[in-house]
Each structure stands twice: as structure tokens, then as C-alpha cells.
Amino acid sequence: MLPFQTLEEAGIFLGRNLTIAETLWFKYSARMPDYILYCHNTLFLFIFYTLVPLPFVFIELMHSKKIDQFKIQPRIKNSLSDMFDCYRKVLLTFVVAVGPLQIFSYPVIEMIGIRTSLPLPSGWEMFWQILVYFLVEDYANYWLHRLLHNGWGYNKIHRVHHEYNAPIGFAAPYAHWAEIIILGFASFLGPLIAPGHMITFWLWFILRQMEAIETHSGYDFPWSPSKFIPFYGGAIYHDYHHYVGGNCQSNFASVFTYCDYIYGTDKGYRYQKEVFEKTRKQM
Ligand SMILES: [Zn+2]
Ligand SMILES: [Zn+2]
């Protein structure tokens, strides 16, 4: 809830006129409890999880040869009911793990000082903070994911995510509820280290989820804007991890390629990349 009653009071506090974005934020959030603003994150995760994979569903069902050339494992066909089944199962995990994790983590968010007030963060502030969040999450996720590939962790938890040897967009958060909580910790780590504005927090979770959906989409489009991101893993990189399956000791990183490079866990991928490329074209 904002500590100002009117736009004039907010202007006096800032010592300038409010920008259009700040005026809109004031009108939307002035009387809304911070807890409700925080809960928006769960709603956004649900909306983006539902909408972002839809174009991949349509192109999967089109069976167009022009588009199928960009499919990473073209022999694998998914029907609408297969994909909807995945969506339905993930929604259940949303109810059991994602929602409670988001809602019960509020005291931590309050403690670290994710702010909801004015001024709004500048574009640069948001950019640098989100970049830090991506780097921190990528590093933590790398080690947690690598740990989950050992015996008990794999058999009891991570095996569920690997049920898809050829992932689809809806399968990005398809995982055991315990994995959602374990890897969810990595997503909170960046905001814990460098807390920012609630809008930056929302945007971070939205972008991270969009990235995971693209990575699991099963398609590698040369025109994807993510191709311009340095050291970005992308769909083929993570598809290889799923293709190899439970025994895979390669490509653990969730976003970038540098962790696997530094710790030598991309050797198998680099060695087999050409073989994998040829095999998948014959598939
Ligand atoms: Zn894995
Ligand atoms: Zn995956």
C-alpha cells in the first residue's frame, strides 16, 4: 500500500511530476495491500504458463513440413490430448507446490524489502537486477539440478521431469512437487541478494518462465530473439539433456552455457553435438 493518499502528495514526495507509468501504478496499487500485490505473481505465472506454450501447440498440430524442419526431434508427435494432459498435471502441481510456495514466501519478501512504492525503477535498474537474478539462478540451478541427477534424488524426484525425452512447452514446469520447491529456491535467490521493486520481481518470474517454455518447446527457430543473448543455452542445448535422459551428465544449466563449460559437464554434448544433429534429422 502506498504511503500517499493523493497524486499531489506523491508528487510532493518525489519532488517532481509523476510519469504516466507512475500515475498508473499509483491508481492501481495505492489502496491495495502489499500481500495482494505479491500474490499477483502466482496469477501471472498461471496466465503466462497457459498462453506462452499455445503457439507451439498450434504448430505441433499443423504438421507443416516448413515448420517441422525446426523441430528438434521431428519423429516425436504429440497429440492435443497428450499436450493437454501435461497441462492438466502441471496445473495440479501449481495448486500443490507453486501457489503455496509463492504465498507462504511472503514474509521473506517483506523482510528483504521488495518495495511496492514510488518511484518506479528505471529501465536500466530493472535490466541490471534481472540480469543478476538470471546469473544467480543459473548458477544455483546448475548445482541443484546436478545434485538431482544422483541416485536417490533422481529416482524419487527428478525422474518425473525426465518423463519427456522430447520436451514440449507445457512440460517446462512438469516436475515432482519437491523439485518445484527445490529449484524454486534458486529463483528466489537473486531477489534475496538484490531486492528491487515488485514490478521487477514480477517481470523476473515472467521472463524466467518464458525462457523455460522456449527451452522446452521442442523447436529451435533461427529467428528467435534469444539467439542474440550471449552464452544462452536454448532449446537444442536442453533438449539434448532430455534426449539422453536420466543418465545424462551433461547440460545441467537452465539458461546459460558457461557453468557447464567451466565445470566440464558439456563435454559429452560438445562431442556428440554433430552426431545428435544428424540423428535427430533422421528421426
Ligand atoms: Zn535433468
Ligand atoms: Zn527440462
Q: For residue 7, how far is its CA from the centre of ligand 2 (angstroms)? A: 46
Query: Do the beta carbons of residue 179 and residue 161 sit within 8 Å?
Result: yes
Summarize pLDDT for 118-152 with one digit per residue, the tens: 899 999 999 999 999 999 999 999 999 999 998 89
pLDDT at position 50 is 96
- Its sign, for the CA torsion 129, 131, 135, 141, is positive
pLDDT at position 233 is 92
Percentage of the chain surpassing pLDDT 70? 96
Q: E strands along the chain, which residues?
A: none
* Joined grid coordinates for residue 62: 499443423
Cα separation of 33 and 40, whole Å?
11
Q: For residue 142, how far is its CA from the centre of ligand 1 (angstroms)? A: 10
Predicted confidence (pLDDT) at residue 283 exceeds the cutoff of 60: no
Q: For residue 265, how far is its CA from the centre of ligand 1 (angstroms)? A: 12
Q: For residue 167, how far is its CA from the centre of ligand 2 (angstroms)? A: 7
Task: Tell me which ligand sits closest to the C-alpha of residue 173.
Answer: 2
Using CB atoms within 10 A of its CB, is residue 100 exposed (0-12), middle (13-18) or buried (19+)?
Answer: middle
CA 254 to chain centre: 9
DSSP readout, 231-268? Answer: TB-HHHHHHHHHHH-TT--S---SSBSHHHHHTTTTHH
pLDDT at position 279 is 65
Q: How confident is the model at residue 264 (pLDDT cuts 50, 70, 90)?
A: very high
pLDDT at position 187 is 94
pLDDT at position 198 is 96
Q: Which of 3-17, 60-74, 158-172, 242-256 has the highest mean pLDDT?
A: 158-172
Predicted confidence (pLDDT) at residue 153 exceeds the cutoff of 90: yes
Cα separation of 55 and 169, whole Å?
9
Task: Tell me which ligand sits closest to the C-alpha of residue 250.
Answer: 1
Q: For residue 87, how far is its CA from the centre of ligand 2 (angstroms)? A: 15
For 248-269, b/e burial (b = at least 16 CB within 10 A) is: bebbbbbbbbbbbeeeebbebb
Cα separation of 25 and 259, whole Å?
38
Cα separation of 209 and 64, whole Å?
27
Summarize pLDDT for 158-200 with one digit per residue, the tens: 999 999 999 999 999 999 999 999 998 999 999 999 999 999 9
Q: Tell me the β-bridge partners of 219.
A: 71
Q: For residue 235, how far is its CA from the centre of ligand 2 (angstroms)? A: 10
Cα separation of 121 and 75, whole Å?
47
Cα separation of 258 and 231, whole Å?
7
Q: For residue 53, how far is its CA from the centre of ligand 2 (angstroms)? A: 15
pLDDT at position 25 is 93
pLDDT at position 147 is 95
Name the average pLDDT for the chain.
Answer: 90
Q: Tell me the β-bridge partners of 256.
A: 232
* Joined grid coordinates for residue 108: 521473506
Predicted confidence (pLDDT) at residue 276 exceeds the cutoff of 70: no
Across 257-270, average pLDDT? 91
Written as one letter, the residue type at 44 is F
Predicted confidence (pLDDT) at residue 61 exceeds the cutoff of 90: yes
Task: Tell me which ligand sits closest to the C-alpha of residue 149.
Answer: 1
